[in-house]
Amino acid sequence: MKCALQTGSGITATPSKARRLSNVGCWTPRRTDTKSLVVYAIWGGLISPKGGSGRATRRDLVRLGPVSVSPMGIGTWAWGNKFLWGYSEDMDAELQEVFNLCLSRGVNLFDTADSYGTGALNGRSEKLLGRFMDDYPGKPPFEPVIASKFAAYPWRITRRSMVEAARASAGRLRRPAVDIGQLHWSTANYQPLQERALWDGLVGMYEEGLVRAVGLSNYGPKQLQKVHKFLTDSGVPLVSVQIQYSLLSQTAETAGAAAACRDLGVRMIAYSPMALGLLSRRYGGRGSAELPGGPRGQLFKSIVPGLDPLYDVMEAICEERGKTMSQVAVNWCMCKGAIPIPGAKSLSQAEQNLGALGWRLGEGEVLELEAAARRAPRQMVQNIFMTK
């Protein structure tokens, strides 16, 4: 029987969903009148309109210092990366279309790095973004915001070397300044004496107008508090921290990084929100594709066998909402207050990402997903550069 609860808008909640939520202690109605049931159902995510706008509106924009960004961005790690993502220059025309589509739908945050692009293609991602911005037809709903990361290379040991890195990135992006200049990783785990020069470099590039705002990546709570104080004492506001964050990588919560961001007023940007594709169920379950080759395939081989309970919960939510698993995974990140930056190499992937906008999971669904994720025997491997 499909019916349990209907509202005047024709939205239906099913008994199966009520049972799933009550099993994790998320939905316990105390009264049986229709109005009370509707309130509980909305709170628990039992009923909500299917669909969603698939675009970011002005009301959705998030303020990061001097810039306003969409609640979801696009990561461009794959743009120029042959080793992990099979990039070739033949893909550039479609990547331009990906950029145009996302920007036309209000997604204006694009994340890149001076190290994105393998071998001779180093910096390719920034160059493509520079070209795509110049070639965008017409006026977008919101101006593009480029967040680029500067690698903590061992030869970057002075303030000036970091400043010149920002200057080079701005040149590849064909802009006078990078909107958000981010330190790609901390050297605290292996070369702590280099750290101060890197922080000083962030101050230098901000003071010289080469970045409009400053961010970090792969910083845990202790180091985050240290660099936040250093930047604040130097008159430089810290607006964001990028952290690996997904249903299969919740270390940001358990280790305190998310709480530190909230306490310091710094926004968390979630990279790998789909766990390198694992949360799309493309590589697990019925009708799934073969595991990818290379490093990703080796990693997935050890994780996929234990994901069926999480996949089943995600599929049930997808069925109720008319969404895909990747859209549910990305929307979960937004519901947790993070700005996810899923990658997109094709128009179909871009459309998938955009389908995560314009709606929100219910509180009960969020809790149910997290409970199922905790039951997975293996989580995603954490970035080795992530600090405490």
Find the range with the poorest average confidence among 47-51, 248-252, 366-370: 47-51
pLDDT (tens digit per residue) in 4-42: 333 333 334 444 554 444 444 444 443 344 334 333 443
- The tokens for 58 are 């002005």
Looking at the fold, whether 25 and 165 belong to one and the same domain comes out as no
pLDDT at 22: 44
pLDDT at 219: 96
Task: State whether the Cα torsion 182-183-184-185 is positive or negative.
Answer: negative
Q: What span, in angstroms and rounded, lies between the C-alpha atoms of 282 and 286?
A: 9
Looking at the fold, whether 219 and 135 belong to one and the same domain comes out as yes
pLDDT (tens digit per residue) in 145-194: 999 999 999 999 999 999 999 999 999 999 999 999 999 999 999 999 99
Looking at the fold, whether 231 and 351 belong to one and the same domain comes out as yes
Q: Which is more confidently placed, 169 or 251?
A: 169
Residue 156 Cα distances to 60, 149, 167, 181, 196, angstroms: 38, 14, 14, 15, 11
Looking at the fold, whether 10 and 68 belong to one and the same domain comes out as no
Looking at the fold, whether 140 and 272 belong to one and the same domain comes out as yes
Q: Residue 325 is part of a domain; what is its CATH number?
A: 3.20.20.100
Domain-located, residue 124: yes
Domain-located, residue 380: no
Q: What are phi and psi of 286, to 5 degrees?
A: -70, 135
pLDDT (tens digit per residue) in 204-243: 999 999 999 999 999 999 999 999 999 999 999 999 999 9
Mean pLDDT over the full length of the chain: 85
Domain-located, residue 267: yes
Q: What span, in angstroms and rounded, lies between the C-alpha atoms of 38 and 245?
A: 32
Using pLDDT thresholds of 50, 70 and 90, give the confidence band for residue 259: very high
Looking at the fold, whether 127 and 187 belong to one and the same domain comes out as yes
Which residues form the catalytic set?
116
Looking at the fold, whether 26 and 168 belong to one and the same domain comes out as no
| Counted domains in the chain | 2
Domain-located, residue 382: no
Looking at the fold, whether 363 and 251 belong to one and the same domain comes out as yes
17: containing domain: 5-44
pLDDT at 254: 77
Looking at the fold, whether 100 and 23 belong to one and the same domain comes out as no
Note the pTM of the prediction, 2 decimals.
0.85
Q: Which residue has the tokens 């007023």?
A: 265
Q: How many CB atoms lie within 10 A of CB 248?
A: 23
pLDDT at 133: 98
Judge contact between 133 and 82, C-beta under 8 A. Answer: no
Q: How many CB atoms lie within 10 A of CB 193?
A: 8
Looking at the fold, whether 84 and 11 belong to one and the same domain comes out as no
Using pLDDT thresholds of 50, 70 and 90, give the confidence band for residue 301: low
Q: What span, in angstroms and rounded, lies between the C-alpha atoms of 366 and 21?
A: 10
Percent of the chain predicted with pLDDT > 70 = 80
Looking at the fold, whether 179 and 325 belong to one and the same domain comes out as yes
DSSP string, 240-296: EEEEE-BTTB-HHHHTTHHHHHHHHT-EEEEESTTGGGGGGTTTSSTTPPPPPSHHH
Looking at the fold, whether 169 and 231 belong to one and the same domain comes out as yes
